Structure 1
Amino acid sequence: MKVSALALGCLNFGSRTNKEMSYRLLDQYQDAGGSFLDTANNYAFWNDGCVGGESESLLGQWMKERGNRSRMTIATKVGAKPTFPGGGFEHKEGLSRKAIEQAIDESLRRLHTDYIDLYYAHIDDADIPLEETLEVMEGLVRAGKVRALGCSNYSVSRIEEARSISQAHNWTSYSCIQQRHTYLRPNRDADFGVQLSADDDLLKYCERHEDFSILAYSPLLNGAYTREDVPFPEQYEGPEVQARMRVLKEVAAETEGTMNQVILAWLLQNTPSTISLVAASSFGQLRENLGSLDIRLTQEQLERLNKA
C-alpha cells in the first residue's frame, strides 16, 4: 500500500476542531497532494460532549460531500473506545471477536464507506488471546471490509508473537506499528499510561523487517518544541534534552527550516523511515508541517542529530 509521506491526524476533527475548520484543513491537505487520513473509533471521547466516533463521522461526511473516498487512504482503529458514555480507558471495548465485529460495522457506517484501508488494533489487549483477535481481523480482510492490518501501542515481543501466529495460519499479518515517537527520547522510567513510546528494540525490529513499517504519533509533542507556553511533558526531562535541543536548533538554522520541520524530516529520512501523523488546528500549522517535505537533511546532519 502506497501512502502519503505525512498522514493527517484527525483526532480532534468534529469535536475540538469544529466542522468548518476541519473541512478547510482537510481541503488544504488534499490540495497539497495528501491522501492519508488517520482516525480511530474512540476519537475523541475525552473532549467535552463527546463519546467517540466524532472524528470518523466528520471524515465520512467530508468524503461524501467531496466525492473523494476512492482517492483517500483511511486508517482507523479498534479496541480503545469506552463501552459506555463517560467511561475511560479502563472501560475500553478491547479486542475480542464480538467487540471487533461490532466496531468495524459502526466505523464503516460513520465513515460512509464499505472498506477501511488500514485497520489498527489500537491498544494491546492481554485479556484476549492474540489468536482470537487475529482470526477475526483475517475475517474482515477476507470479507473485503479491511485492506491491511496494523497495531498500535504494542511491544516488540507482542508484535513478533502476533506476526508468527498470522504466518502460521496463513493469515494477513500486521504490516505496521503506530507508536508515540519524536526526536527527544523519553526517560527510561517514563510512563505514558496506555500509550507506548518507540524504543530501540522496536526501531531495530523495523530495520530488520522491510515488510513492517512504523508511523509516529505525537511527533511534535503538541507544540512543545517551539512554543514557550507549552512545556515539555515530564517524561522528556532527561539529562540529554539540552544537547539534543542544541543540535536540533543548529540543523534548523542550517536548513532554513523550523525545528518542527526538521523533526518531521529526521523521522522520514532516518532509518527506519517513519511516517509522521501531523495534527493541525490552523492553516499555518498545517502549512509548516507540509513544508517539512521540502527539507533535505545531509548524512552529516542526520548523524549529528542521532548522536546528540
Structure 2
Amino acid sequence: MKRVQLGEHTVSQVSLGCMLMGTLTDQPTSARILDAYLDAGGDFLDTADCYAWWTGPQARGGESEAALGELLKGKRDKVFLATKVSAAITDLDAARKAPSAEPYYEGASAEVIRRGIDGSLKRLQTDHVDLYYIHVDDMTTPLEETLQTLDEIVRAGKVRYIGWSNVWTWRLEQMRALCRENGWTVPIVVQQQYSYLKPRTGARNVAGPEMIEWLRHNPDVTLAAYSPILSGVYEGRTDKEGMYKQYDGPETETRLATVAKIAQELGVTRSQVVLAWLQQQSQVVPIIGPRTWEHYEAYAPAFDLELAPEHLALLDQ
C-alpha cells in the first residue's frame, strides 16, 4: 500500500473508516477487516465519538470507539488513530425525528472538546490519539476558543495533530492565520467528501474546485476523502438520490463512461478505478468504510492498483 506524508509521520494512503464497527458490523467481522487491512500495509484508522448513533434504537454514539478499544489491544502502536468531536448528539430522541440532526450537534466549545477527548481516550483505551478532528465545523463557538483548546490538548500530550471536517475553504484560511498569530497548533488534515465525479454545487461538506485549488497552494495539508465511491454510484446505484443528484451534472455521464471503459480494460470494478485515481494525488487519502467482509474484499484490490499514463490522461481530460 502506498504511503503519504502527514505532519512528521507517514501513513497508508488508504484509510480504514471504522464508523459501523460496534453497531452494524459485529466484532468478529470488524476484527477480520482490521487484521486484513493491517496485513495489507494499512495503518490509518478513522472513527468519531458519535459513531454510530443512527444505526438503531439502542445506539447512542461511541460504539465504534469502544469496539476499536478492544480490537486494538496489543496493536495500538501499529496504527495511526484518528477520531472526532463536535457532532455527538445532545438529544437523541429529537435528532432521530428531525430532518437533520445538525441542530442537536454538541459543537466545538472548550468544555465539549476537553470532555470529548477524555471520553474518546477512555473508550479507545489509549493515552493519546494521533489525529483529532472537529467533525462538523461549529460556526457559533468563537474560532479562537476552539483552536486554543485544541492547542491545549496537543500540548497536554492527548493529541498529536488536529484536523477539520465538513468546513468551508475560507474558514481553513482563517484558522491558519489565527494559529500563526497565536502560536497554536495548525490543522494539517481536512476531511471532506471527494471523488472523481464533480459535484454540481459547492457545499460545506464537499471538496469542490475551490478547495482543491486551495490545497495545491497549501501542500502541508492533506485531504482525507470520505465517501470516495459515492455509495455505489459508479456501479450504477442511484437509489440514494441525495448522493446521486449532488453529482448529476453535465460531465457525469462522460466521466462514468470513462471509468467504465478503463475498468473493463483492466478487469476490475469501476469503484476500484476511482480509488486508484484518488491515490495518484499525494495530498489525498481516500477513506474506505466497509460494513461487511464482502465490502472489504471489493475495496482491497484497489490498494495497489496502478493506472497506466494513458488511463490517467483519459480520466483527467
Normalising by the residue count of structure 1, what TM-score does the alignment of the two structures yield?
Answer: 0.93
Alpha-carbon deviations, 1:275-304, whole Å to 9, x = none? Answer: 110011233321332211322123332232
1:162-173 alignment runs, 5 A limit = 162-173=175-186
CA distance in 1, matches of 2:177, 2:279: 28
Cα drift, residue 230 of structure 1: 4.8
Partner of 2:75: 68
CA distance in 1, matches of 2:314, 2:236: 24
1:1-308 alignment runs, 5 A limit = 1-48=9-56, 49-64=58-73, 67-86=74-93, 87=95, 88-188=101-201, 196-226=205-235, 228=237, 230=239, 233-270=244-281, 273-307=283-317
Coordinate RMSD, CA, aligned: 1.6
Q: How many residues align?
A: 300
CA distance in 1, matches of 2:193, 2:315: 19
Conservation of the 8 A alpha-carbon contact between 2:136 and 2:167: yes
CA distance in 1, matches of 2:310, 2:154: 43
1:290 partner amino acid:
A
CA distance in 2, matches of 1:228, 1:42: 27
Percent identity over paired residues: 38
CA distance in 1, matches of 2:39, 2:86: 32
Alpha-carbon deviations, 1:171-217, whole Å to 9, x = none? Answer: 1100010000111112127x6xxx61111111111111111111100
CA distance in 1, matches of 2:215, 2:199: 19
SS at 1:224's partner residue?
helix
Alpha-carbon deviations, 1:147-193, whole Å to 9, x = none? Answer: 0011101111000000111111111100010000111112127x6xx
Conservation of the 8 A alpha-carbon contact between 2:29 and 2:293: no
Displacement over 6 Å in runs of 4+: none
Conservation of the 8 A alpha-carbon contact between 2:221 and 2:283: no
CA distance in 1, matches of 2:234, 2:288: 14
CA distance in 1, matches of 2:247, 2:13: 26
Cα drift, residue 234 of structure 1: 2.1
CA distance in 2, matches of 1:164, 1:256: 47
Alpha-carbon deviations, 1:1-36, whole Å to 9, x = none? Answer: 211111110111111112221122112212222111
SS at 2:60's partner residue?
coil
CA distance in 2, matches of 1:33, 1:168: 39
1:99 partner amino acid:
V
Conservation of the 8 A alpha-carbon contact between 1:267 and 1:273: no
SS at 1:296's partner residue?
coil
1:57 partner amino acid:
A
2:299 partner amino acid:
N
Conservation of the 8 A alpha-carbon contact between 2:19 and 2:51: yes
CA distance in 1, matches of 2:210, 2:295: 32
Gaps of 5+ in 1: none
Alpha-carbon deviations, 1:207-258, whole Å to 9, x = none? Answer: 1111111110001112232155755622222232110111111121233322
2:38 partner amino acid:
Q
Cα drift, residue 112 of structure 1: 0.2
CA distance in 2, matches of 1:236, 1:227: 13
